[in-house]
Each structure stands twice: as C-alpha cells, then as structure tokens.
Amino acid sequence: MYITFENAAISFLKAAFVTTLAVIQFLLTLQFYKLGCSYCDFMNIPYDFALTVMSPGFAIEVAIVLSVIEISVVIWLFNKLKRFKLIKLMSDSFSSIF
C-alpha cells in the first residue's frame, strides 16, 4: 500500500505541530528554571538545596511546579472554552486527525 500525498502532508503537519509544542515547552521550562535561579539568588538559597536526598534542586523544583501549573491552566482553559461552537468544532477536528 502506497502513501498518498494527503497522508504524507497530514503526517508532516502532525510531526511539525508536536515538535513545535515540545520546543515551546522546553523554552518555557528553561525560562521557569531561570526564574527559579533568580528566586534562589534573591533569597540566598543554594540552587541544589534539597529537603530529601531524592528530590531535585530547589531551582529545578520551581521550574517543575510552574510547568505543571501552566499545563493544568491550559487544559482547564481549553475545557472551559469547549462550550463555544468554534472551539468544539476545532476540538472535534483535532480528535479525528489524531
């Protein structure tokens, strides 16, 4: 079975979309890490301050917490916007593609 141009284009767009999301998340996490480092500098907390042996450093914890909050807010906002017909239509079209 051969791949058609339409299937190749959809696969390329999916890959580009997912790659773009991954790059954006990486850049935001990097910004959150820099924010955590500046917070540590301001409060005179060492970057690798850890409450337990298994926990990551304090600056990394700030980046993780901010990333989780960001993702949660985006998902919550998208679910609230699903009431609108345009967003519902986009959601249905994305779910049929993926």
Q: Which tokens belong to 10?
A: 């959809």
Q: How many domains does the chain have?
A: 1
Give the integer Cα–Cα distance in Å for 42 and 31: 16
Give the integer Cα–Cα distance in Å for 42 and 58: 13
The residue range of the domain holding 52 is: 5-97
Q: What pLDDT, in 10s, does the model give residues 7-43?
A: 888 889 889 988 998 999 899 888 988 888 888 888 8
Helix (H, G, I), strand (E, B) or coil at 37: helix
pLDDT of residue 16: 92
**Residue 7 identity:** N
pLDDT of residue 98: 58
Helix (H, G, I), strand (E, B) or coil at 56: coil
pLDDT of residue 96: 67
